[in-house]
Chain A
Amino acid sequence: QVHLVESGGGVVQPGRSLRLSCAASGFSFSNYAMHWVRQAPGKGLEWVAVISHDGSNKDYADSVKGRFTISRDNSKNTLYLQMNSLRTEDMAVYYCALGSVVVTVIPFDYWGQGTLVTVSS
Chain B
Amino acid sequence: DVVMTQSPLSLPVTLGQPASISCRSSQSLVYSDGNTYLNWFQQRPGQSPRRLIYQVSNRDSGVPDRFSGSGSGTDFTLKISRVEAEDVGVYYCMPATHWPPTFGGGTKVEIK
Residues on A lying within 8 angstroms of B by beta carbon are: 35, 37, 44-47, 50, 59, 61, 95, 104-109, 111-114
Chain B contact surface mostly: loop
Chain B interface residue count, CB cutoff 8 Å, equals 24
Given contacts A105-B96, A106-B94, contact A112 B101 (CB under 8 A): no
Instruction: Choose from B48, B60, B97, B106 the contact partner of A95 (Cβ within 8 Å).
Output: B48
- The reply to whether the CB of B49 lies closer than 8 angstroms to some CB of chain A is yes
The residues of B that contact A106 with a CB separation of less than 8 Å are 39, 94-97, 101
Residues 43-74 of B, flagged 1 when their CB comes within 8 A of A and 0 if not, give 10000111100100000100000000000000
Which residues of chain A are near B99, meaning CB under 8 Å?
Answer: 59, 104
Who on chain A is nearest to B48 by CB? Answer: A111
Contact code string B82-105 (vs A, CB < 8 Å = 1, else 0): 000000001010111101111111
Q: Which of B60, B95, B102, B103 meets A109, CB within 8 Å?
A: B60
How long is the Cα–Cα vector from A111 to B48 in the complex, in angstroms? 7
